[in-house]
Structure 1
């Protein structure tokens, strides 16, 4: 068979003449590489459709291209998951791995140098390699199978991939998990970094939303959990969706970061969980006293210690350019900055951790609250609020994190004296000692990036009952919105939760509009407003319902005013003076009016005309609160030169889970489950976001078979692999124009399992 394929392929390559000499004979290859309809394969496989033979994984895709991966063992499923992720977003996944290794600049150029340097400074990949043996054999085998799936795809498609694509190693996956968790952990050190003129490696990440209504509050008598994980839509924070099922008991659905082999947030047949970022303090900055005579030494107690130096070379733009960096280290960690005889070294509790995959895999497999808590107790996730619900009616919250035990004599949100032994860590706070709430009488839990005491009205948690160095957080408008809603509603349905996840009511507008009105009412008789533009702006805000809907004509005005007010008010020392606040508010309104008149030519611009999500060439007008304002449905936006607001982050994955039996869920990604612009799943979920709706997920075999659009069994045998390799080359030729399009069936209702 192999020789037949090669002979036909050779003839096809040579068979064209005339104007299309050298092009592939599309008729010959269409016959050779035609895809078998899914229905034919389903009939052929019969009862074995969801039970591939041992050593194989079956990737079944639904109407939204979500991979449902079935296998005999967890390792078989991991292999299939690696292959499916490579199908959907190989290059983006490989860039994630490169960033964690400090080698993304080789592909992306100078724009990636900053994060490459940070990954190398913290030895993200090196520590993953050095401590890889600390991971359990079971988890290592699972990761290795996932990597083999990725590499199987790479080998088959090698001839159509960019030259920079290399095979993946298991340590790359561990390093990526370490890198992502480090970026979250470093955010908790924002305050101390700012005090010495430094910023975190990535800008402040957007907040997320998470709540659960318990059995006493839902219409079904079972918990209903709603999650909205909000992230930038950039490396390494992109999310994909999948369903993993093995005969060994794994049956988990949800979302994860490109390149990770486990589900990060989602549900299985018994439990559901999600996360939001919290204020737990897991990052410290040490002020080191350098020896004035020898700055490569620093003082510690009564002794001097050596500053360690490490030089690295970073290649940029595919090796065309090379830069050298020197990284300095004290015993506390890498030096971020030196000022005269002072050095600032950072330390984080995630620095030596390598087994996040093992913990997440245990969370994926958990079927009870006890098993889930046992998984969390390993403290491999350094941060995050976690909320949980299950089919038994349990609901649970924990202010999760790997928090160091420290002396309470120091302010750990500021640089601490590194020369004093008293600032050394004394172990970690045990999981059992972290703030937790289990089955509150009020019947619901929420955490929208707020302090633990407000997760439930009867949480019983008090700040003074926990160490000052733990971190805590504060309330916010989003939490106020959802707490008030949960307390005033009974018989909560799935549809209610879906509406809430896309709730675009700006709670902060209630307060700030009052400030604007007071400021305007105080001065309007003497205010210079010849064209009544400021008065018109006040009238628009009075008529506005505080919602950031597509039709709203108040959202843009308010958001532009808010940005100018925040910028100006940050410079004002007398922040408690109401007259100063009113003065700043009025000046910001005048500035907003001038900007809108100059940019848009009007003040009543509908929100949907300027606020949008872009995917390829398609534009999706979007509702939701822009950066700097607060609603449950919020977006991370960038203002373009023409005044439009391009969405660059926000809801990366939303899901509502009804913990009835069997468990049901509804979900939506930011764009779609494929990064291939030619795929129908490149932007099909962006349309869900535009319409503020969710798709019904497919969790049972019966439901999946009714919406099945694609079927693949991997790994391929050698002849099948060669066949797929030729098919990949054919498609590449088709895309580049070497083959003219014809009526060959390449649509989604076909399979590559032939």
Structure 2
């Protein structure tokens, strides 16, 4: 290896503690005075702060990638190696039958083979960077084998191709299309969501642009965020990426920043093929399938390997995912021919102004995700980013279903260029937002017109309640301070309650039975929030769960009134009956109908069990937290608010952040769940970016000598 490492611990005995302030002041003077981060340090190093955030300072880019690989292993070694094993399509060989479906999916999508192709297509510089990242992973594993679970060591050594295979599995075959969606054929909702805001100086109390990054993802597996700072010649960026990805995916620097949200993007289609004579019918002719085979190995409980041949058929559309009764279904996914995603993200973090940033983004290597952007000069942008197929016919709804595959008329082969994508820069409103709604509701007055784009570009609606809540908070405050933006980010107000609760209470109060009347009293005094101490929120949510939201409203969603519809109760009498049922259910489960939200919904990690705030986005809660049964009548958080960054482009940049579940998953790490108490209190923590700040909050320093 071309790097050796030295560790430096920071412990003090009782005598030296008396001199701690004096010693720290000397260290700060020497370090800050002799080395600013506008100039490269002599050695690449990682400064770990007290929240387990790695601040990586490299004297060259190659060394920085090496250190980032090392850092990810220190924080997430077991998870990272397991993810890479799955991306190879060999997880069942390593860990058994439970991973067989995962392997079949990865192999059917051609991930390992394409990873080798992608690696060859990287620029010469980026190939070196990927090698350095893999080297950092392997060097850590060699030096700290005792800190890694034995069962995942089989994945070592990691290669640059593993990194690219993992990238494909995450972006193309989890976000763009996932196994669950394909099984149902009609496109299902992504497991991910997000909020993103950008505010111009016009609407900012400080007259500085602001950015809010707020992805919502499951709290584990390949969805886990990793927070870091990367500083090297030509880059000084702070942000987060998904574990195993070697560059920041959401980031800011002194000049600009961006976040991503899952957009209403359709980047895959399932084609129904008619089978004939061992092939399939296409434009009136029988075409042969292209078939590849591979050897699948499955580890048995006794440790032996069972081998089986796995075959994948492909048509001009893509791989065959099902075949029965004279028909087959082929899957076509965007992005398989765009290998330079990582370099685009890297260069986005290196940009210094909007012009540079747009030149990078228009490469269209990133297959999907809205881009919400803000910068020091006061510009903001909402970009409906992604690889959108150029289709000859049909609207968005048409392409959500099984597509006839016997004709080339439905087979798309080209992608819309950057200039075709919906976008708005510096709208008159002074703000842009996205809460996974279509681009037409990015800002108000409407700045992106659906009529100006192909009908398949994005759906016309409806605008869900979380997006309406997002717009409402932005539009109703003409001068938003940095602190107010953070408070809005934590809002648990239920927009749904504002639309129907008054109608429900009015009818419920007229009922004669005591329980229904009591339920009306609880709802009337409820603050309409999902805060830990909110009483009435559990009752309202239990009532909503037993209703059909498609038929609930008197006035359905209307494109002409996207921010105030739907509203009203279509069937008040049935609604009141359901309320009585919900009250009985709560009485049986908790002994009362006004149980506090935080008594039922919990935040749990290691030795922590805290009351939660936040809830289901379907109820119009901006602070999204999804829960799963905990087995005792309570529910624990499993998804939702994950990484949050609030940024104001003042001089210097002001930033607060939080990684909800902590910045590590390795056993015995002090950073597993160490930010969860802040999450429970609806607080963010300061972002430390200067050497002086980091040194004051330093936990460990690691130096790499070249």
Query: What does 1:512-661 correspond to in 2, within 5 Å?
Result: 512-514=500-502, 516-517=504-505, 520=508, 524=511, 529=513, 532-566=514-548, 581-582=571-572, 584-626=574-616, 628-661=618-651
Match of 1:663 in 2: 653
Contact 2:53/2:228 (8 A) holds in 1: yes
State the TM-score, normalized to the length of structure 1.
0.82
Corresponding position: 1:315 with 2:298 = yes
Q: Return the alpha-carbon distance in structure 1 between the equivalents of residues 507 and 102 of structure 2.
A: 45
Q: Secondary structure at the match of 1:333?
A: coil
Q: Structure 2 regions of 5+ residues with no counterpart?
A: 1-6, 13-22, 558-565
Q: How many residue pairs are counted as aligned between the two chains?
A: 666
Greater mean alpha carbon deviation, residues 345-354 or residues 428-437 = 345-354
Greater mean alpha carbon deviation, residues 296-305 or residues 537-546 = 537-546
Q: Secondary structure at the match of 2:651?
A: coil
Contact 1:232/1:648 (8 A) holds in 2: yes
Q: Secondary structure at the match of 2:546?
A: helix
Match of 2:265 in 1: 280
Greater mean alpha carbon deviation, residues 510-519 or residues 68-77 = 510-519
Q: 1:298 to 1:656 in 2, by over 3 A?
A: same
Q: Return the alpha-carbon distance in structure 2 between the equivalents of residues 339 and 583 of structure 1.
A: 48
Corresponding position: 1:252 with 2:237 = yes
Offset at 1:677? 4.1
1:477 aligned to which of 454, 465, 468? 465
Greater mean alpha carbon deviation, residues 590-599 or residues 127-136 = 590-599
2:115 aligned to which of 116, 128, 141? 128
Query: What does 1:186-205 correspond to in 2, within 5 Å?
Result: 186-187=176-177, 194=184, 196=185, 204-205=190-191
Match of 1:301 in 2: 283
1:381 aligned to which of 349, 366, 380? 366
Offset at 1:69? 0.6
Q: Return the alpha-carbon distance in structure 2 between the equivalents of residues 160 and 231 of structure 1.
A: 27
Q: Return the alpha-carbon distance in structure 2 between the equivalents of residues 132 and 93 of structure 1.
A: 19
Q: Structure 1 regions of 5+ residues with no counterpart?
A: 1-32, 718-754
Q: Secondary structure at the match of 1:393?
A: coil
Corresponding position: 1:407 with 2:392 = yes
2:104 aligned to which of 117, 123, 135? 117
Corresponding position: 1:233 with 2:215 = no
Q: Secondary structure at the match of 1:337?
A: strand
Match of 2:248 in 1: 263
Q: 1:44 to 1:693 in 2, by over 3 A?
A: closer
Q: 1:69 to 1:127 in 2, by over 3 A?
A: same
Q: Secondary structure at the match of 1:655?
A: strand
Offset at 1:142? 1.5
Q: Secondary structure at the match of 1:445?
A: strand
Match of 2:312 in 1: 327
Query: What does 1:491-510 correspond to in 2, within 5 Å?
Result: 491-510=479-498
Contact 2:69/2:135 (8 A) holds in 1: yes
Q: Return the alpha-carbon distance in structure 1 between the equivalents of residues 99 and 580 of structure 2.
A: 39
State the TM-score, normalized to the length of structure 2.
0.88
Q: 1:419 to 1:235 in 2, by over 3 A?
A: same
Q: Return the alpha-carbon distance in structure 1 between the equivalents of residues 636 and 698 of structure 2.
A: 34
Match of 1:207 in 2: 193
Offset at 1:267? 0.3
Offset at 1:472? 3.5
Q: Return the alpha-carbon distance in structure 2 between the equivalents of residues 122 and 108 of structure 1.
A: 21
Q: 1:703 to 1:300 in 2, by over 3 A?
A: same
Q: Return the alpha-carbon distance in structure 2 between the equivalents of residues 619 and 339 of structure 1.
A: 49
Return the index of the structure with the highest Cα Rg.
1
Q: Secondary structure at the match of 1:345?
A: strand
Corresponding position: 1:370 with 2:381 = no
Q: Secondary structure at the match of 2:615?
A: coil
Q: Secondary structure at the match of 2:240?
A: strand
Contact 1:382/1:402 (8 A) holds in 2: yes
Contact 1:559/1:628 (8 A) holds in 2: no
